[in-house]
Amino acid sequence: MMHAEQWKKSKMKRYRSRRVRRRNITSVLLPRDLIIKVLLRLPVKSLVRFKSVCKSWFALISDPHFAISHFELAAACMERLLLFGPTVLEVLSIDFNAPLHDDSASVTLNLNFLPPGSYGDLILGSCRGFVLLQGGQSLCLWNPSTGIHKQVCDSPIASSAMDVMFCTFLYGFGYDSSTDDYLVVHASYDVNLDPETRVEFFSVRANAWKEIEGIHLSYMNCGDDVRTGSLLNGAIHWLAYRYDVSMNVIVAFDLTERSFSDILLPEGFDCQFDFCHLTVLEGFLCVHLTGCDECPPEIWVMKEYKIQSSWSKKSVDVAFDKIPIEWFSLICSTKSGDIVGTDGSHELVKCNSEGELLEHRSYFEGRGGSQMIVYSESLLSLPYDGDQAEDD
């Protein structure tokens, strides 16, 4: 019996000795600079897993400077689609560059950190790997890649003005590089008086709301839904109606200057708010009309920022007779130039630039609408204030 125990201890000692030697050999053969270069080129999913390799890798991958370098190097290569099902419990992260029927390209995510309540317009924006969500009456910032999330405190400005009926019509979320701060922008107007607009923003770094005083906006949202902003060139953009001149425009909010400006839509563009959408496509502002069997999707791309004459039109003749949908609304494009769209529920359709059907897939059973947004995978965290948490 004693001999067996001694043999077991000797075997364990040799095993530990080999592990130490391997670790030492790795340290000698792989300098830190080389390890960093290799890790910077790996996807976020792998890096999250590799945190458990050893203490030094955990410290390196958790370093905010490493996260920034990784994001700047690979952000354009790591875009995915968040697809929320008919119930808020159903959330998928989909690699839309992969075949839609590749089950390994989609991952089920967890939203159990949201407070209980009813959910309408759940998705309000996306920036640098974070998604702005509205759960019940609360706002929350969430990094789907790492699970980091932070609840946004209620606005004291809105709370102190409960006697005035303000209606939210614009939401936005973006990043101010000059202050290394994330901002949640909120615009509302008084429905009881001549349109009186109030604009405020939440600073993640300051963990506080601030009203932008002295601003009078002549914008209203003609649709029933809250308009979610599209982020480009350090500004958030929305489709809105200027009631003082009776015209539809794109309104831009500069995140550094904290100022608004107008961008003109294409000449002759029929912007029907219920069917018109604003997005960023391949790094350009894009407005598009939902298409149907009798009217193909209409897509306009602004090739030069804020230059009205640079709008370029393209019509995509989607083969509606070959897919089980009645409507087609653009979501994004793949690295190869294919177009990904939806029918407004949970059906995704992928076509080439001429509208030829490549594939389609329904991700959830039953009827009911879905919400979706494109986001970038990232290891980034929010400016620290002590209120961030990670998924269990």
pLDDT digits (tens, 9 = 90+) for 235-279: 999 988 887 888 888 999 999 999 999 999 998 887 776 678 889
* pLDDT score at 180: 93
The number of beta carbons lying within 10 Å of the beta carbon of residue 323 is 17
- Helix axis angle, 32-39 relative to 64-74, nearest 10°? 50
CA distances from 164 to 170, 171, 193, 195, 255 (A): 18, 19, 9, 12, 27
Tell me how far apart the alpha carbons of residues 179 and 255 are, in angstroms, rounded to a whole number: 10
Question: Tell me, what's the pLDDT at 210?
Answer: 92
Supply the pLDDT for residue 252.
94
Going by pLDDT thresholds of 50, 70 and 90, the confidence category of residue 111 is confident
Angle between helices 32-39 and 55-62 (to 10 degrees): 60
| Residue 152 β-bridge partners | 139
Buried b (16+ CB within 10 A) or exposed e, 348-380: bbbbeeebeeeebeebbeeeeebbbbbbbbbbb
Kindly give, in sequence order, each residue whose CB lies less than 8 Å from that of residue 292, ignoring residues fewer than 6 positions away: 320, 326, 327, 328
Q: Among 3-12, 244-253, 364-373, which is the least confidently predicted range?
A: 3-12
**Domain segments of the chain: what residues?**
23-62, 71-376
Reported residue count of the chain is 392
Residue 5 main-chain phi, psi, to 5 deg: -65, -40
Listed in sequence order, the residues at least 6 apart from 156 whose beta carbon sits closer than 8 Å to its beta carbon are 209
Residues 117-127, mean pLDDT to the nearest whole number: 76
Using pLDDT thresholds of 50, 70 and 90, give the confidence band for residue 25. very low
Give pLDDT tens digits for 176-211. 999 999 999 988 776 665 556 788 899 999 999 998
- Tally: H helices and E strands in the chain: 6, 27
Highest mean pLDDT among 25-34, 120-129, 141-150: 141-150
Architecture of domain 71-376 in this structure: 6 Propeller (2.120)
pLDDT at position 16, please? 59
Confidence of residue 228 (pLDDT cuts 50, 70, 90): confident
For the cut 60, the answer to whether the pLDDT of residue 231 exceeds it is yes
Strongest mean pLDDT among 18-22, 99-103, 338-342, 387-391: 99-103
| 188 neighbors 139 (Cβ within 8 angstroms) | no
pLDDT of the residue at 347: 80
Q: Please report the DSSP string for 147-201 in residue order.
A: --EEEEPPPHHHHTTTTS-EEEEEEEEEEETTTTEEEEEEEEEESSSS--EEEEE
Average pLDDT over the chain reads 80
How much is the pLDDT for 116?
A: 66
For the cut 90, the answer to whether the pLDDT of residue 13 exceeds it is no
pLDDT cut 70: percent of the chain above it? 74
pLDDT of 93 above 90: yes
Q: Which two tokens stand for residue 315?
A: 């019509």
3-state secondary structure of 365: coil
Find out whether 263 and 285 touch, Cβ atoms under 8 Å: yes
Are the C-beta atoms of 132 and 364 separated by less than 8 Å?
Answer: no
Per-residue pLDDT reduced to its tens digit, 290-344:
766 566 778 899 999 999 999 998 777 776 666 666 677 888 889 988 989 887 6
The span from the CA of 234 to the CA of 254, in Å, is 6
Q: What is the pLDDT of residue 52?
A: 86
Question: Does residue 49 or residue 5 have the better pLDDT?
Answer: 49
Average pLDDT over residues 14-38: 65
Q: In whole angstroms, what is the distance from residue 109 CA to residue 83 CA?
A: 10
Range 363-371 average pLDDT: 69
Measured CA distances, 382 to 80, 203, 236, 336 (Å): 20, 11, 19, 32
